[in-house]
A and B are shown apart, each in its own frame.
Chain A
Amino acid sequence: MTPVILLCVLAWIVLGGAGALCRTQKWSGAVVYGGSSMVAVVALSAALLQLATGISPRPSMVLPLGLPWVGMSFSTDTLSASFLIIINLGGVAASLYALGYGRHEREPWRVLPFYPVFLAAMNLVLIAADAYSFLIFWEFMSLTSWALVMVHHGEAETRTAGIVYLLMASAGTLALLLAFGLLAGAHGSYDFAAIRATHQPSWIGDTVMFLALIGAGSKAGLVPLHVWLPRAHPAAPSQVSALMSGVMTKVAIYAFIRLVFDLAGPPAWWWGLIVLITGGIAAVLGVLYALMEEDIKTILAYSTIENIGLIFVGLGLALAFKADGLLAAAALAFTAALFHAFNHALFKSTLFFGAGAVQHATGSRLLSQLGGLIHRMKISAVPMLVAAMAISSLPPFNGFASEWLILQAILLSPAMPQLGLKLAVPAVGALLALAASLAAACFVRFYGFAYLGKPRSVGAAEAQETDGFSCTAMSGLAVLCLAAGLLPGFVIDLLAPAAQSLLGAHMPTQEGLSWLTIIPISASRSSYDPLLIFIFITVSGSLAVLALHRYGSHVVRRAPFWGCGYAGLEDELSPGVVIGTQYSPSGFAQPIRRVFANLVFQARDKVTMPGPGETVPAEFASTWRDPVWAAVYTPLISAISRVADCANQLQYLTIRRYLGFVFIALIALLIWVALWS
């Protein structure tokens, strides 16, 4: 299977080259995106085939590339195959979407060469089997995605996003570099198999865990390393935003799993505690940020942080259970985390596709300028509703199935002997519950203000439905959201080999269970049958419709809504736009802002009322402060500039002083050498 993926990578690189050469041709977009999507289908089928048939992994394949005495080795085990599915599924959908959406790109030659190469880079990270090639491809992935973020570099915001992203990506890679360096040791080999075989002292494992949390966490968007994410993800074209948010964050999760579960040796129980708490905080803060925002793509980017937090909670639980030898529970938590990663790729890609379509159709990304799109974008509004419900973890969709599994894993925490974990795990459960309910509020706001109500701007009033490719991509993913929600057992079984190979245990096989129920541990503990509940809802809903239409009235009349005598004015300049009485997105979030964000974000609403007799309008301003930026980055930036200022003085010394410095340095070195020997 490794050769298949390598061939796919080659094909993507060729497509990238074709995109660069034929950049001015009209058909270049169709070729690049169509080709990328077909190649992704091949890679996806290969990964599915490997997981479904359980072909035993072959020894890694070494190619004579890169450093002459090392080469590059590739292999695919069950873990990388699981992630290959997630990545290439996202790749297929994004390329299909881009076939339609990419036509609206003003400067397609800035996207076309990098897009297929970005897909190739993500696949290469997953199949890399030694630290050297892993890091090369990781950087390759960062750089290609950076190039894609910078497509609209004419905008100042994009340029800021680009520089922040570049800095954070470099810092993250540095952490990963150190982690691999520690694992390989002074004389060790960089090959994963060799690292796995050596017995590491425990301090190396501990440090590697922290470095992996920083390195992979910064790419995935863990708080406080998330600052680049809400800037960079929205700045890219929407098919790339979907890939970065839905897919590239999963590569980061893969890196974390590979380092911590596979290479760092047996975990200590407090690793799990740290990962859990970081994840819980990211989940709540991410969704609170999202509730403050009005830009639809930024909302989606912040909600990615929330979902990544959820995934890390699952991984932290798995680590803690594994350290305590509770392997069945560890397998449950691990599978739940992978399942959520899979689900997040599905619904977040759909939402970004929809956001791109909305942006193109209305010319705006601000919720306060949208509204009523369900009437004008009839088809794409349906998959967006499905994705919004799925991401709010509501049954019967897939988001709920994975969240339910994570909650079930949390409920197994009393089996752990450490009191710290016993107390912390349910507390993190409380954070997750809070995050889930806030996410529902966030996506009511997202969907309600973009798609429902009346248009708030001319652009929204005159929006047109998006093209067929985009609708197909979105609908396909939405159908998968429903299917994975109704039949979670199949996905769980598909992910079982990965849990088996890393933890030595897997969840009970779900396939043969009656009525397609899922059972995490045992039937007496908990079970969930989404299919049956869905059938119940459908049947009783149809019965209600039949009964009401048979015995009651089935007439529907239309009338103006009740507005207490003032229903708002139609804007004279822009017909169809009603001003005055509709709720605004910032007004919708005001109660939540007042309850939660006063403390965390120091959110303040300020109303300036004109005095009696004055004829100026009243003014309303809402301000909030990013606590992470204030607590971490502002001091860091000022410290760096202070150090730089000090170092700057070295530039203006006389030649005598420079010679003096050289002399002192020489003496110091000689003394050191004398003492050393």
Chain B
Amino acid sequence: MELITQFFLQLCEMALVLALAPLLTGFVRQLKARFQRRAGPPLLQPYRDLSKLIAKDAIVATDSSWLFRVAPYLIFTATWVAASLVPSFGTNLLFSWSGDLIVIVALLGSARFVQMLAALDAGTAFGGLGASREAMIASLAEPAMLMMVFTVALVAGTTQLSAIAGFMHSGAAGLRLTLALALVSLVIVALAETGRFPVDNPATHLELTMIHEAMVLEFSGRHLALIELANSVRLLLYFSLISCIFVPLGIAPPGSGAGMLVAGAAAYIVKLVVGATLLALFETSFAKMRIFRVPNFVGAAFMLAVLGMLLLFVSAPL
């Protein structure tokens, strides 16, 4: 019985991630539009886009291979599995131990690897351009992310996300400069990896500036739907990650009853709303960077994370 409940909770988490992700994207878009004094698309527009795309035929480029058709499924599932390993409303779900924070980073890396290959598959100039730029950004963002993981893991003494969330929730970490630096670096990485301002513009189709859009230009129909959904899930993943490491307030501890779980879910939604508002505000108030300014921006995240980690050994918590 216990096992069945646990299994059910894990399925809930997976379904919740999938169901909430487009809503979050729609919410950020709507807020951004409001900040820019536009009416903006309705909140449920991403769902409508997805259902329209799913119904359409997929068109693939003449010279593309099987990899191009498999890639959307791989990208989507790797991202989805990574997202469902991040605690949202409760910690220590049934399968939470099957992968730690490093595994989550690496799963996202796998998704990106396949995405870059798929971009090169059709043999277009855009695909190469997008993949090349993505490779550059990833080559800095991924180590920055790992350094952030190291910092947090050294503070908490574990790389298990549930254990980290529990540790942070207990308040044993105290106030540390290291953690502040790690938070800043994680936010920068999240902006870069989800293709938001000031690194990439999620709404652009201008050849000179696009990064992520250039890679997915050749996808259509259900393939595009999967990639769009994967993008939304990735955005949600970073929100969940930031909230479960740095603001684990209200997250349901292991073995808690239904009331705690509902409270955890409510707290999670509040955190998402706050995070989305901050993101929309940030995106409205910054301009996109020139592509070769991005390495400085993401490189700063890397250096901050390394600095934070080294500070750990010469500083004490407040």
* Interface positions of A (Cβ within 8 A of B): 371-372, 374-375, 385, 389, 392-395, 400, 404, 407-408, 410-411, 414, 419, 422-423, 426-427, 429-430, 433-434, 436-438, 440-441, 443-445, 447-449, 452-454, 515, 517, 523-529, 532-533, 536-537, 540-541, 544-545, 548, 551-553, 555-564, 567, 578, 581-583, 587-592, 594-596
Give complex CA distance A556, B66 in Å.
12
Q: Mark B28-64, 1 if CB is under 8 A from A, else 0.
A: 0000000000000000000000000011111111111
- Contact, CB under 8 Å: B103 / A395: yes
Given the complex, which residues of A lie within 8 Å of B135, measured CB to CB?
440-441, 444-445, 588, 591-592
Which of A447, A545, A548, A561 meets B61, CB within 8 Å? A561
Given the complex, which residues of A lie within 8 Å of B132, measured CB to CB?
583, 587-591
Known: A385-B67, A536-B95. 18 other contacts (CB 8 A): A394-B106, A411-B154, A426-B309, A437-B109, A440-B109, A440-B113, A444-B135, A517-B98, A525-B163, A528-B100, A537-B74, A541-B73, A556-B59, A557-B58, A583-B125, A583-B129, A589-B132, A591-B136
Q: Which of B169-177, B196-204, B215-223 contacts A (4 or more CB under 8 A)?
A: B215-223
B97 within 8 A of A: yes
Nearest-Cβ distance from residue B80 to partner chain A, whole angstroms? 6
Nearest-Cβ distance from residue B121 to partner chain A, whole angstroms? 4
B315 within 8 A of A: no
Number of interchain pairs (Cβ within 8 Å) = 270
Given the complex, which residues of A lie within 8 Å of B84, measured CB to CB?
536
Give complex CA distance A581, B126 in Å.
9
Given the complex, which residues of A lie within 8 Å of B218, measured CB to CB?
561-562
Give complex CA distance A558, B62 in Å.
5
Given the complex, which residues of B lie within 8 Å of A562, measured CB to CB?
124, 126, 217-218
Given the complex, which residues of B lie within 8 Å of A564, measured CB to CB?
125-126, 207
Q: Which of B140-148, B238-246, B248-256, B270-278 contacts A (4 or more CB under 8 A)?
A: B140-148
Which of A540, A559, A587 meets B128, CB within 8 Å? A587
- Contact, CB under 8 Å: B67 / A389: no
Nearest-Cβ distance from residue B218 to partner chain A, whole angstroms? 6
Residue of B56, B158, B226 ringed by the most chain A CB atoms within 10 A: B158
Given the complex, which residues of A lie within 8 Å of B107, measured CB to CB?
395, 533
- Contact, CB under 8 Å: B97 / A523: yes
Given the complex, which residues of B lie within 8 Å of A392, measured CB to CB?
109, 113
- Contact, CB under 8 Å: A563 / B99: no
Nearest-Cβ distance from residue B51 to partner chain A, whole angstroms? 8
- Contact, CB under 8 Å: B81 / A433: no
Given the complex, which residues of B lie within 8 Å of A371, measured CB to CB?
123
- Contact, CB under 8 Å: A524 / B158: yes
- Contact, CB under 8 Å: A528 / B99: yes
- Contact, CB under 8 Å: B313 / A537: no
Given contacts A454-B63, A529-B98, A541-B73, contact A553 B222 (CB under 8 A): yes
Given contacts A394-B113, A591-B136, contact A540 B54 (CB under 8 A): no
- Contact, CB under 8 Å: A411 / B106: no
- Contact, CB under 8 Å: B63 / A374: no
Which of A400, A537, A548 meets B81, CB within 8 Å? A537
- Contact, CB under 8 Å: B60 / A541: no
- Contact, CB under 8 Å: A561 / B95: no
Chain B residue nearest to A437 in the complex (CB)? B142
Give complex CA distance A308, B107 in Å.
24
Could you write out 19 A-B pairs with CB less than 8 Å apart? Answer: A374-B67, A419-B313, A423-B313, A427-B310, A434-B143, A452-B65, A452-B123, A527-B100, A533-B98, A536-B95, A537-B74, A537-B78, A540-B81, A548-B225, A557-B60, A559-B60, A582-B123, A591-B135, A592-B139
Residue of B56, B84, B140 ringed by the most chain A CB atoms within 10 A: B140
Chain A residue nearest to B159 in the complex (CB)? A526
B24 within 8 A of A: no
Q: Mark B225-243, 1 if CB is under 8 A from A, else 0.
A: 1100000000000000000
Q: Mark B102-121, 1 if CB is under 8 A from A, else 0.
A: 11001101101100110011
- Contact, CB under 8 Å: B98 / A430: no
- Contact, CB under 8 Å: B95 / A532: yes
Given the complex, which residues of B lie within 8 Å of A553, measured CB to CB?
54-58, 221-222
Give complex CA distance A595, B143 in Å.
15
Given the complex, which residues of A lie within 8 Å of B263, measured CB to CB?
none
Give complex CA distance A527, B117 in Å.
30
Given the complex, which residues of A lie within 8 Å of B80, measured CB to CB?
540
Give complex CA distance A502, B120 in Å.
47
Give complex CA distance A408, B101 in Å.
11
- Contact, CB under 8 Å: B120 / A444: yes
Chain A residue nearest to B77 in the complex (CB)? A541
Give complex CA distance A675, B262 in Å.
94
Given the complex, which residues of A lie within 8 Å of B66, measured CB to CB?
374
- Contact, CB under 8 Å: B113 / A426: no
Given contacts A434-B139, A582-B128, A590-B132, contact A544 B76 (CB under 8 A): yes
Given the complex, which residues of A lie within 8 Å of B181, measured CB to CB?
none
Given the complex, which residues of B lie within 8 Å of A448, measured CB to CB?
116-117, 120-121, 131
Given contacts A395-B107, A414-B154, A552-B222, contact A453 B138 (CB under 8 A): no
Nearest-Cβ distance from residue B50 to partner chain A, whole angstroms? 10
B286 within 8 A of A: no
Given the complex, which residues of A lie within 8 Å of B69, measured CB to CB?
556
Nearest-Cβ distance from residue B41 to partner chain A, whole angstroms? 22
Give complex CA distance A433, B109 in Å.
12
- Contact, CB under 8 Å: B125 / A581: yes
Given the complex, which residues of B lie within 8 Å of A443, measured CB to CB?
113
- Contact, CB under 8 Å: B136 / A592: yes
Give complex CA distance A168, B160 in Å.
45
Give complex CA distance A37, B128 in Å.
41
B122 within 8 A of A: yes
Given the complex, which residues of A lie within 8 Å of B123, measured CB to CB?
371-372, 452-454, 561, 578, 582
Give complex CA distance A528, B117 in Å.
26
- Contact, CB under 8 Å: B120 / A583: yes
Give complex CA distance A445, B59 in Å.
25
Give complex CA distance A550, B116 in Å.
28
Give complex CA distance A426, B152 in Å.
12
Give complex CA distance A559, B141 in Å.
35
- Contact, CB under 8 Å: A422 / B313: yes
Given the complex, which residues of A lie within 8 Å of B143, measured CB to CB?
430, 433-434, 436-437
Nearest-Cβ distance from residue A502 to partner chain B, whole angstroms? 27
Chain B, 270-317, CB within 8 A of any chain A CB: 291-292, 295, 299, 302, 306, 309-310, 313
Nearest-Cβ distance from residue A564 to partner chain B, whole angstroms? 7
Given the complex, which residues of B lie within 8 Å of A563, measured CB to CB?
124-126
Nearest-Cβ distance from residue A670 to partner chain B, whole angstroms? 62
- Contact, CB under 8 Å: A583 / B98: no
Give complex CA distance A567, B102 in Å.
41
Nearest-Cβ distance from residue B118 to partner chain A, whole angstroms? 8
Given contacts A561-B122, A583-B132, contact A533 B157 (CB under 8 A): no
- Contact, CB under 8 Å: A557 / B57: yes
Chain A residue nearest to B124 in the complex (CB)? A561
Given the complex, which residues of B lie within 8 Å of A393, measured CB to CB?
106
- Contact, CB under 8 Å: B106 / A452: no
Residue of B54, B141, B207 ringed by the most chain A CB atoms within 10 A: B54
